[in-house]
Chains A and B, each alone.
Chain A
């Protein structure tokens, strides 16, 4: 379970809080979607939960562990799929996966087997020994995902895992994530694909200006919103239609 208490983040020199006094509980085995317009604070929230950013105030725990007290134990427990392709372009898919798997203490045949299984499930086993720089965007996304789940994390954070990929790759990724969730992995993911979130998530929270504006089971949110027939309409009703460009 992830328990977030009054969590805030204000970047140096910024006039506003990217995440402001946020309270949230994400239960075990949930597929939780963090939705919101650009700059709403989704990536900032996930970055704090993954130890990439220091909160300005507030606290959180994951399975009752915190980075202050159980840093390595907590890191072993989680996985993160960053928005960028966090892979070495000149190494092969297999070499990348071997390296990142080793960082979680995996080794030998066990590591090889896991790599093989994941590559096969995501349709990449024939490209195992090709260098990443030769891969398409969709293939890189899938390798990016595998690099984060080799150690079977209890909690998996995904920051826009399906952005910029074709429908086939997107389906493969979503199916793989569902299978992971069935094997007890809690999934927290951000996305701009609201249809995808509606079908995939067991619960969602819509964030705007660093605060949660609504949260719940997608169907319940749709039902509760007047004249809304899908999650996108709920989203627009809650966050407005104004453009969110900022620099």
Chain B
């Protein structure tokens, strides 16, 4: 026990003496959290608050194109710039000057009216509602289907394209439906003020995020960002830890320790205690940033009320998992050139697999399976359980057990590797 304490004290001294390193260890994760949350928050605001300039070429000049124009304008998402030539609009989008150009085809309004009127007349004739016994049978004209063209900048992201396409599709469906209602109205009554059809949506949807005790939870972007990026930062502990171990090898102090009557487990124990504590301090600082600094910066406040103890339990086990990985890397690596790039890349890969960048449910099936082996996935699930689902301790036991298992396995492999490599 005395040797473990001495090792721990030595690690504390080594950390404290490297003021620059210590500052980086604590400040960089905070900076990461602030920058990522600001970027994500501003992206969200860009979509909702600012208008994206788009081009519109209106060859129709009718009610449908007017309707599309009005709907786009009412959405508050777009600033509509009219162009007269499809070719000009296409070139501007291709050059990347605009993200999107909408081309409304010629005669869209008149053809849609005619098509709908013919359909309505046909339906009414079937029901025998057409005026006169010897009414002329409905003759259907051969109208070509109309195509609204959407030109996208090749650099536009797929997610943006999908959301714009869906929005315009919904808008056109609504216009078609309203045209059908209007045609029926005109056929069934001469009184334009008489309301036959209620054109309001019958089916609406309400967003509900179920809560446990106190009704609905409405998670904000900080509740999502802080756990994900905190975990990312915690795992970056493997870099200073593995570098610390490689330095000991290069300084010769590790050689001296090998000749001392002290087990490798004790040496690693000291590092584990100190670096896990560093993770917890990092976590505490990040919570403080979320609770106090975010609101000052116009970001949503992080709500940790009543969940602090459980959050620290998750942070402790996530820290242990990260430290275990750092111990293994530090044991195997011979140089800082090996440990630093490998460690940094590994953390990014684990973060990607763990769902820090992209939610796991949108990943391909194979990647979803693979994500199950990322300790960051276990940690993130545990954090979300506590932060967003208000879970109890018993409900996060599976995740923290996996994190602890990961720490135990990586540390045992490190000890085994060292014993095998240095066996005499």
Q: How far is the CA of A76 from the CA of B253 in the complex (A)?
A: 17
CB-contact partner of A88 in B251, B261, B422, under 8 A: B251
Q: Assess whether B3 is interfacial by the CB under 8 Å rule.
A: yes
CB-contact partner of A51 in B3, B252, B258, under 8 A: B258
Q: How far is the CA of A91 from the CA of B14 in the complex (A)?
A: 7
Q: How far is the CA of A25 from the CA of B398 in the complex (A)?
A: 59
CB-contact partner of A78 in B6, B7, B259, B262, under 8 A: B259
Q: Assess whether B423 is interfacial by the CB under 8 Å rule.
A: yes
CB-contact partner of A82 in B252, B261, B423, under 8 A: B252
Q: Assess whether B2 is interfacial by the CB under 8 Å rule.
A: yes
Question: Which of B6, B252, B257, B262 has the most C-beta atoms of chain A within 10 angstroms of its own C-beta?
Answer: B6
For the complex formed, measure the closest distance between the CB of A10 and the CB atoms of chain B, giving whole angstroms. 15
Asked if A75 meets B2 with Cβ closer than 8 Å, knowing A53-B424, A88-B10, A88-B14, the reply is no
Q: Assess whether B212 is interfacial by the CB under 8 Å rule.
A: no
For the complex of A and B, the 6 pairs showing the least CB-CB separation, nearest first, are A102-B6, A86-B252, A84-B252, A86-B256, A75-B261, A103-B260
Known A75-B261, A85-B252; further 9 A-B contacts with Cβ < 8 A: A52-B255, A52-B259, A82-B252, A84-B252, A86-B255, A90-B13, A90-B18, A95-B10, A99-B7
A99 nearest in chain B by CB position:
B10
Contact status A102-B3, CB under 8 Å: yes
**Residues of A in contact, count (CB < 8 Å):** 35
Q: How far is the CA of A82 from the CA of B14 in the complex (A)?
A: 22
Q: Assess whether B17 is interfacial by the CB under 8 Å rule.
A: yes
For the complex formed, measure the closest distance between the CB of B255 and the CB atoms of chain A, giving whole angstroms. 6
Asked if A51 meets B424 with Cβ closer than 8 Å, knowing A75-B261, A99-B6, the reply is yes
Question: Which of B14, B256, B259 has the most C-beta atoms of chain A within 10 angstroms of its own C-beta?
Answer: B256
Contact status A100-B258, CB under 8 Å: no
What is the count of residue pairs linking A and B with beta-carbon distances less than 8 angstroms? 80
Contact status A104-B261, CB under 8 Å: yes
Kindly identify, within residues 1 to 16 of chain B, every residue whose CB is under 8 Å from any CB belonging to chain A. 2-3, 6-7, 9-10, 13-14
Q: Assess whether A128 is interfacial by the CB under 8 Å rule.
A: no
Contact status A76-B261, CB under 8 Å: yes
Contact status A91-B424, CB under 8 Å: no
Contact status B424-A107, CB under 8 Å: no
Contact status A104-B260, CB under 8 Å: yes
A-B contact pairs, 26 of them (CB 8 A): A48-B424, A50-B259, A51-B258, A51-B259, A52-B422, A76-B261, A82-B252, A84-B251, A84-B252, A86-B252, A87-B253, A88-B251, A89-B251, A90-B17, A95-B10, A99-B9, A99-B10, A100-B260, A102-B2, A103-B261, A104-B260, A104-B261, A105-B261, A107-B2, A131-B17, A148-B256
Q: Assess whether A63 is interfacial by the CB under 8 Å rule.
A: no
- Return chain B residues, CB-CB under 8 Å to A95: 10, 13
- Return chain B residues, CB-CB under 8 Å to A98: 6
User: Which residues does B use to contact A, with CB under 8 Å?
Assistant: 2-3, 6-7, 9-10, 13-14, 17-18, 251-253, 255-262, 422-424
For the complex formed, measure the closest distance between the CB of B240 and the CB atoms of chain A, giving whole angstroms. 14
Q: Assess whether A67 is interfacial by the CB under 8 Å rule.
A: yes
Asked if A90 meets B6 with Cβ closer than 8 Å, knowing A51-B258, A51-B259, A51-B424, the reply is no
Kindly identify, within residues 48 to 77 of chain A, every residue whose CB is under 8 Å from any CB belonging to chain B. 48, 50-55, 67, 72-73, 75-76
- Return chain B residues, CB-CB under 8 Å to A85: 251-252
For the complex formed, measure the closest distance between the CB of B42 and the CB atoms of chain A, giving whole angstroms. 41
Q: How far is the CA of A88 from the CA of B2 in the complex (A)?
A: 20
CB-contact partner of A90 in B9, B14, B258, under 8 A: B14
A89 nearest in chain B by CB position:
B251
Contact status B256-A91, CB under 8 Å: no
Q: How far is the CA of A131 from the CA of B17 in the complex (A)?
A: 10
- Return chain B residues, CB-CB under 8 Å to A104: 260-261
Contact status B252-A103, CB under 8 Å: no
Contact status B260-A75, CB under 8 Å: yes
- Return chain A residues, CB-CB under 8 Å to B258: 51-52
Q: How far is the CA of A222 from the CA of B285 in the complex (A)?
A: 71
Q: Assess whether A7 is interfacial by the CB under 8 Å rule.
A: no
Q: How far is the CA of A99 from the CA of B260 in the complex (A)?
A: 11
Q: How far is the CA of A147 from the CA of B10 in the complex (A)?
A: 15
A98 nearest in chain B by CB position:
B6
A53 nearest in chain B by CB position:
B424
Interface string of A5-46 (1 = CB under 8 A from B): 000000000000000000000000000000000000000000
A80 nearest in chain B by CB position:
B259
Q: How far is the CA of A103 from the CA of B256 in the complex (A)?
A: 10
Asked if A91 meets B259 with Cβ closer than 8 Å, knowing A51-B424, A105-B3, the reply is no
B262 nearest in chain A by CB position:
A103
A90 nearest in chain B by CB position:
B17
For the complex formed, measure the closest distance between the CB of B386 and the CB atoms of chain A, giving whole angstroms. 38
